[in-house]
Each structure stands twice: as C-alpha cells, then as structure tokens.
Structure 1
Amino acid sequence: MNVASVAAGAYARTQSLGLDTDGSSSGTDAVDNFGSVLNSAVQGAIDQGHTADRLTAQGLSGGGDVTSIITAVSRAQLALQTTTTIRDRVVQAYQDIMKMSI
C-alpha cells in the first residue's frame, strides 16, 4: 500500500463522516467526528502492530514470506511514527492555546 492510497483512504473516511467541503461541521458533531477519526487512526495503528507481530511470529517459527514480514513491520513502524507525530502536534497546539491571553 503506497502513501497515495493511504491518503485517499483517509480522505474518504473524513468525507463519510459528513464534514462540509471546508472541513467544518456543527458544534458537537465536529467534536464527535474528530474523536471518531482519531479513534479510527489509533485503531489502525494498533491493527498494523498486531499484524506485524503475527507475521513476525510466523517468520520466527519458519513460516511466512520474508518480504511480507518486512513490509508489515515497516507499515507498523510508519503507523507508530505517524501516531507519535500527531500526538506531538496536538500537545503543541494545546500548549499554544493555553499561552493565549483572553
């Protein structure tokens, strides 16, 4: 799976959540949609990790294809790095908001 198809899938998921073309939604709907997108992204990263673990265990027991194992581990690593980057940016945005004067 390449980056373009991952991005297209993420875009399709956000469109299915009912966001307007400008990305806005009304009040609590926007919060619920953001939460569900974030939850979906985290669950996807967890699933990638489980897949990599399962394929690695198969490889250690003598089964499995080396290419699919390496691909699964690379995808899990990329998912973890992406999740960590998003977490860091959310924390930074929160800190920036807290610094604002009212």
Structure 2
Amino acid sequence: MAVEIGPKAATAAYRKALERISGGGSDAATAMPSFGELVKSQLQDAVQAGRLAEQTSADAMVGKADLQQVVEAVTAAELGLSTVTAVRDRVVAAYQEIMRMPI
C-alpha cells in the first residue's frame, strides 16, 4: 500500500480534519470532539503511519516493495511524528506560560 504525498493528499487530509472537527457535517447536534480526542486521533494516525513505514521497509527487504514506496511511507511517518511533536511542544509552552502568570 503506497502512501500518496502531494496536493491531492493534502486536500483530502484537510477535508478529513474538517469532518472530524465538524462531527461529520451531517448532524448539527453532534458534539465537537475535545482537544484531547483530536490529539489522540492524530497520535494514533502517526503510530499507524510508523507501523506502515516499518512494514513497507520489511517488504522492501524481501523484494515486495520498491524504494519509492519505502521513502513515501517513511516520509509520511516522519510528517505525522513531527506534527504530534509540534503540538506537544505548543501545549507544554502554553502550560509553562500559564504557570508563570501571577495570581
């Protein structure tokens, strides 16, 4: 299974994120997911991308995948991990800023 990287994939990912935020768009009474749920979902996606990268690398070792598929899978995993890391860094920075506020 190849991972697509490009404008079309970015648009699809953006649309998927909007659907998650809006609750699918079909039912207005559906509650928005919490920030924690969004982070958990993104973390699970990053873990899944990492597993796919590992599997694709193993497939390449036995000749079932080519180098381009490996590079695409590893790049997708790296992008997911860097996104989760950036969000974590922002949350920690926000927490530290709140802790510095005088009461």
TM-score range relative to shorter protein: 0.7 to 0.9
Letter in 2 for 1:7: Y
Answer 1 or 2: higher relative contact order, Cα 8 Å, separation at least 6. 2
Q: Distance in 2 between matches of 1:99 and 1:47?
A: 37
State the identity as a percent.
34
Consecutive unaligned residues of structure 1, counting only runs of 5 or more, are 20-31
Q: State the Cα deviation string for residues 37-64 of structure 1 (Å, max 9, x = none).
A: 1111100000000000000000012221
1:8 aligns with 2:15: yes
Question: What amino acid does structure 1 have at the position aligned with 2:38?
Answer: V
Aligned residues: 90
Q: Over aligned residues, Cα RMSD in angstroms?
A: 1.6
* 1:31-89 deviation digits (Å, cap 9, x = unpaired): x6222111111000000000000000000122213222211110001111111111100
Large movers: runs of 4+ above 3 Å:
none
Q: Which has the higher helix share?
A: 1
SS at match of 2:102: coil
Partner residue in 2 for 1:53: 54
